[in-house]
Amino acid sequence: MIQELKEMIIERLSMYRKQSKCLPDRVFVYRDGVSEVRHPAKFMSRTD
C-alpha cells in the first residue's frame, strides 16, 4: 500500500484548492486491489 498516502492526498487537495479556489465537494479515487469489504462506493465522501 501507499505509506505516505495521507500526506500526498493533502498535497493534491491543496493543489486543487490553489487552482480552483475551493475544495472539491466529492472525490473519486481510481485504484487497484480493492477488497470486498472495502468497496469503492465507500470512498465517495463530501467535505461539507
Q: What is the binding site for other proteins (CB under 8 A)? A: 1-20, 22-32, 38, 42-43, 45, 47
| Alpha-carbon gap, residue 9 to 11, rounded angstroms | 5
- In Å, how far are 7, 32, 42 from 36, measured between CA atoms? 26, 12, 11
Min CB(36)–other proteins separation in Å: 13
Q: Compare residues 1 and 36 and give the one whose CB is closer to other proteins.
A: 1
Q: For residues 4 and 36, which CB has a smaller minimum distance to other proteins in the complex?
A: 4
